[in-house]
Every structure is written in C-alpha cells, then in structure tokens.
Amino acid sequence: MAELTRAEVYTPRSMQVWRALLNWLAFFFQIFAQIIRAVGQYPLLSSSSTTETETKTTSSSTHRFKPLPVVDSVEIECPSTVEIAAVLDSPVRVDEDRIEKLTVVLDLDETLVCAYETSSLPPALRSQATDAGLKWFELECVSSDKEFEGKPKISYVTVFERPGLQEFLNQLSEFAELVLFTAGLEGYARPLVDRIDAENRFSHRLYRPSTICTDSLHFIAYVMLMILFGDTSAPEILEGENLDVLKLEFREHVKDLSCLSKNLCRTVIVDNNPFSFLLQPLNGIPCIPFSAGQPHDTQLLDVLLPLLKHLSLQKDVRPFLYDRFHMPEWFQKQGIPSSSWSA
C-alpha cells in the first residue's frame, strides 16, 4: 500500500508538465471561444434585430475608372511573390467539363447606391441629381435610439441609385450568383435592399454583424477558430516570420469571403473600400465611390459588367484580378502584412 501511494505521489515530472500544458491550452481555447460568442465577430449570416440609420459620407471622383485612386500605380518589389504564386498555382477545384457559377459579392453604399439623411441633404445637390435623371426614393428608418417619451426614433434617408443599377443586376443575375455584403446595420440596409431588389436577385444578404475586426485579439481568436474548424491553411499563419500578422492595424468591418465559400476561385467582391477585402486581396475589385454629384456615372454597365462577364468564363478569377489590380502590393504599401491574407 505504501508503495502504491508513493507511485501516485511521485508521478514522473514530464507527465505532470504535459498534463498542465494540456489543461492550460483547453482553458485558453475556452476563453477565446467565449470572446467570439460575446462580441459576435465570427462571420455568420446575420439575423440581427439591431436597427439604426447609417449613411456614408461620399466624396466626388472622376468618371475615369481608377481602381486604386489613392496610390500611384508604381511598380514595386514584392517580397511575397512566392506566396502569391503559390496561391495562384494552387489546384483549382473545378470540374473540367463544367465551370462553377460565379459568385459576385456586392457592397451597398457608394457602390450600388448613395444615401443621405434627408434633413442634411443640400437642396442644390438634390436638384442637380434629380434634374439629371438619377432615380431616388426616400426611406423611413427606425433607429435603436429612443425619443424622450420612449418611442422609437424615426429618421428619413434619401437614397440615389447608381445609374444603370437595375439593368446591371438583371444582366449580372443571368450568369452569376449575387450576394449583398454591407457594413450597414440591418435596420437601415434591409428596407433599402427591399426597394432596389424587389425581384430577390440576391441569394444572400449579409450585414454589419457578419463583418470582422482585425485588431490583434480578435484576429488571434479568429485564427484559432479556423484551426478548430479544420482550415488547413491556418497553422501556417502562426509559424516563424508570419507572426507579423499580430502587427496588423485595427480595421473595422472587414468582409471575410470564407464565410461564403472555402473555394474562392469562383468568388469576387466589388467594393469601393479596398480594406473591406484585405483578407482576400486576390478576389477584390475596387470600384470608384458613387455620390449624388455624379449623375452621369457609367461604371456599372460600362466597366464592371464587362469585367464580371469576362471573369465568369475563368476557372480561377484570382490570376486575372491580380494582373489587373495588383492588390497584394497595394496592401503592402499600406502596411498590411502578407501573412494576413487568406488563400
């Protein structure tokens, strides 16, 4: 009996260390899982009941297509050439005889429409837009804020459709699956999309809760969840020099395309804010922001639609988009480490 007691007390030290390590890791994963559930940052299809009016401040731009208007298109040496080539050369999981239908993810504000609080919309701007023939409508939004009597606050928004919007959606829906992905709150965006898409051409609608943040804490937790749920590329992010992903600056409302599909060779996102697709730069099309001061804008039908038709014929959209926009190099010039990209 004494020998048994001693054997239990004097367990080999290495075994004790391993048990302590395993217990610590289990506790670590539980903490981060709770954080993710609490803040709702893991990308899922949103069913949020939050209602709040949100509009964007729009800026004027020229009618010429400038995919990267804030950075000169200067050739630079890219230290991640091998990494980019590895993504582009990865096997394409597409049937040789049948190309999978293209998935086009569309932003809302300043991409398809522009919106202003009706009370703050300059009369001259409204007159200029309506006289030029821009389609517009007023939207009643119920805010989450309460008035002094406890009643829901009602606000009004004036929405202008980008020229050619309906024809663009009609033609695009013939050869692509359409997904709306907006950083706007559902209380504002849902009734707006109901107005511009009465035919239900969008197969999915994703709102702000489906976006993520890229600060260090949430990004580490996000990577750990990728590991837990079987994303084989995730462990590479945590190795060696790739730890510079922790230096990724804070970005709100990033749209992670992996919540839609793990096979991104047939997925493309169109957004006026390039930082929205910084996790998948090889899948993004940066478009010129739209405002009411651009009544003769022709981007949807003259620029984006022909480009998307061409992409619908490609087995993998990423090589073409890389050659066209060179978004990885642009992100590197903005200080975004290449290890933050998701293949």
pLDDT of residue 34: 56
pLDDT of residue 316: 97
pLDDT of residue 42: 37
In a domain, 21, yes or no: no
In a domain, 207, yes or no: yes
pLDDT of residue 246: 43
Strand partners, 109: 113
Q: How confident is the model at residue 155 (pLDDT cuts 50, 70, 90)?
A: confident
**Sign, CA torsion 247/324/322/77:** negative
Q: Tell me which of 57-71, 116-130, 225-239 is least confident.
A: 57-71
Domain count, the chain: 1
In a domain, 299, yes or no: yes
pLDDT of residue 153: 78
Residue 333 scores a pLDDT above 60:
yes
Average predicted confidence (pLDDT) for the chain: 75
In a domain, 68, yes or no: yes
Q: How confident is the model at residue 301 (pLDDT cuts 50, 70, 90)?
A: very high
In a domain, 56, yes or no: no
Q: Which domain holds residue 167?
A: 32-50+61-113+162-340
Residue 228: which CATH number? 3.40.50.1000
- How far is Cα 283 from Cα 276, in angstroms, rounded to an integer? 11
**Which single residue is written with the structure tokens 């293209």?**
102
178, two tokens: 């359409």
In a domain, 234, yes or no: yes
pLDDT of residue 31: 59
For 30-42, the pLDDT digits (tens) are: 656 555 554 444 3
Residue 6 scores a pLDDT above 60:
no
SS3 of 1, please? coil
- In degrees and rounded to multiples of 5, residue 69 shows phi and psi of -70, -20
Please give the average per-residue pLDDT across 317-329, as a whole number: 96
More confident residue, 108 or 75: 108
In a domain, 127, yes or no: no
SS3 of 85, please? helix
Beta carbons within 10 angstroms of residue 132's beta carbon:
13
Residue 99 scores a pLDDT above 50:
yes
- How far is Cα 236 from Cα 33, in angstroms, rounded to an integer? 21
